[in-house]
C-alpha cells in the first residue's frame, strides 16, 4: 500500500510539493482495489502505534475496494453480468491495458461486452503462445517449440 501512496504522492496529477515534502494533493482519494483484504492485518507505524488496515487506509485517505464491489459498480453503470473485473484482467495483456479497458467500459458501459470480446480476440494469439510455452515436454521427452510465422510488411 505504501508503494501505491508513493505513486500518488510523486505523480504530477495527484502530488504537490509542500514545506513538509512531497504530499498527496488535498481532495484526492486513492482507490486501492484488490480481490481480498486481510482486515485483521496490523500496520506498525514508525511512532510505535499499531493500526488495522481499515484505520490505516482511512488515515491515508484511501478507499479500499474489493473485486466484488467493483463488479457491482460496473453493473450499476449498465454493463451486463458477463463483464467482470476478473474477465477484464484475465483477457488483457498487462496493467496498462486493464486500465485502458476499464476506462473505456466506464465511459461506455453499453459497449462493454463487445469491447471485452474484441480485447479477448486481439490477445488470443499471445495467450495461446504462453499456453504452448507452459506445456510440459511430450512423452517422448522432446520439447516442441511453437512455430511463429514472421509478419510480412504489407505494400
Mean pLDDT of the chain: 81
List Cβ<8 Å contacts ≥24 apart for 20-29: 24/61, 28/61, 29/61, 29/62, 29/63
Residue 3 reports pLDDT greater than 60: yes
Percentage of the residues of the chain whose pLDDT score is greater than 70: 83
Q: Indicate the pairing of strand 62-66 with strand 30-34.
A: parallel
Mean pLDDT of 111-136: 85
pLDDT at 101: 93
pLDDT at 83: 92
pLDDT at 19: 92
| pTM of the predicted structure, to 2 decimals | 0.59
pLDDT at 75: 93
109 — pLDDT class (breaks 50, 70, 90): very high
pLDDT at 142: 55
**43 close to 36: Cβ distance less than 8 angstroms:** no
- With a CB cutoff of 8 Å and minimum separation 6, the contacts of 96 are none
**52 close to 64: Cβ distance less than 8 angstroms:** no
pLDDT at 138: 52
pLDDT tens for 18-37 read 998 888 888 877 777 666 67
Q: Indicate the pairing of strand 50-52 with strand 30-34.
A: unpaired
What ranges do the domains of the chain cover? 1-66, 78-135
103 — pLDDT class (breaks 50, 70, 90): very high
Amino acid at each position: 500500500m505504501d508503494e501505491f501512496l508513493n505513486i500518488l504522492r510523486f505523480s504530477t496529477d495527484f502530488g504537490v510539493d509542500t514545506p513538509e515534502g512531497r504530499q498527496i494533493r488535498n481532495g484526492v482519494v486513492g482507490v486501492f482495489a484488490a480481490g481480498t483484504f486481510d482486515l485483521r492485518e496490523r500496520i506498525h507505524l514508525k511512532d510505535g502505534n499499531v493500526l488495522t488496515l481499515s484505520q490505516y487506509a482511512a488515515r491515508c485517505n484511501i478507499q479500499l475496494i474489493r473485486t466484488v464491489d467493483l463488479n457491482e459498480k460496473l453493473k450499476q453503470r449498465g454493463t451486463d453480468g458477463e463483464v467482470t473485473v476478473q474477465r477484464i484482467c484475465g483477457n488483457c495483456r498487462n496493467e496498462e491495458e486493464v486500465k485502458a479497458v476499464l476506462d473505456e467500459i466506464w465511459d461506455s458501459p453499453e459497449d462493454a461486452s463487445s469491447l471485452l470480446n474484441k480485447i479477448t480476440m486481439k490477445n488470443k494469439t499471445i495467450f495461446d503462445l504462453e499456453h504452448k510455452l507452459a506445456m510440459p515436454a511430450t512423452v517422448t521427452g522432446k520439447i516442441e517449440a511453437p512455430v511463429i510465422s514472421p509478419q510480412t510488411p504489407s505494400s
